[in-house]
Chains A and B, each alone.
Chain A
Amino acid sequence: GAGVSQTPSNKVTEKGKYVELRCDPISGHTALYWYRQSLGQGPEFLIYFQGTGAADDSGLPNDRFFAVRPEGSVSTLKIQRTERGDSAVYLCASSFYYTGEISGNEQFFGPGTRLTVL
């Protein structure tokens, strides 16, 4: 079956521009997560969706970052007025919704979008 897909794989933009990053989760997964990873570090949580709503957006660094998941499947991460410090690999993951009856919350990741802000 198809895994998590992310587009574009690479995005180069100029400081101050607006970017959108797209994530297609695994079919049947109701939970979707965005992380970003800087060089030499582990991924850093940004936001988590359960269905269409953002259940936890505590990781978004500031109000330039916003994410949507209007139909409970595909999600778009939007970054306004990009800054050089936003350069990173943006990872999307999906999972089944943990209900306590499932053993855990194994998350399955896409290949990431490498964002470079010049």
Chain B
Amino acid sequence: DQQVKQNSPSLSVQEGRISILNCDYTNSMFDYFLWYKKYPAEGPTFLISISSIKDKNEDGRFTVFLNKSAKHLSLHIVPSQPGDSAVYFCAASALSLGNYQLIWGAGTKLIIKP
């Protein structure tokens, strides 16, 4: 039973436009969410996170939105750049339960077209 789902295996976006990556979760006890970016043959790189007490967190070109009632989060990248081409993973944890392990989605491959 997948607790974190990324339903789009891939996404293609024109350079300069907005990229929107989506993630859904089923466990209502998740209270901390993270986005990671991964290049081939490298480990995941932390991008941005959000606590369940917030609905938005912004860091430069990256913004994460959290909709708790829908159990949905999204990552917006604007403007998209060629170097953003990578696989993006969302992950969740239930810190209030003392669960520090991250539960991951399967990833979305983002391709930025020049």
A residues adjacent to B (C-beta < 8 A): 4, 31, 33, 35, 40-45, 48, 55-56, 58-59, 91, 93, 95, 98, 100, 103-112
Contact = CB atoms under 8 A, between A and B. Distances in A.
Interface residues of B, number: 25
B42 to A, nearest CB: 6
A45 B102 contact: yes
A31 B101 CA distance: 11
| Interface SS, B side | strand
Contact of A98 (B4, B89, B95): B95
B51 A104 contact: yes
Nearest to B101: A45
Given A4-B43, A91-B43, A98-B95, A105 B32 contact: yes
26 contacts: A33-B101, A33-B102, A40-B106, A40-B107, A42-B4, A42-B89, A42-B104, A42-B106, A43-B102, A43-B104, A44-B104, A45-B103, A55-B100, A56-B101, A59-B101, A95-B100, A98-B100, A103-B49, A104-B32, A105-B32, A105-B95, A106-B34, A107-B34, A107-B46, A108-B46, A109-B45
A40 B103 CA distance: 15
Interface in B23-64: 32, 34, 36, 41-46, 49, 51
Contacts of A98: 95, 100
A93 B44 CA distance: 9
Interface of B: 4, 32, 34, 36, 41-46, 49, 51, 89, 91, 93, 95, 99-107
A110 B38 CA distance: 11
Contacts of B106: 40-42
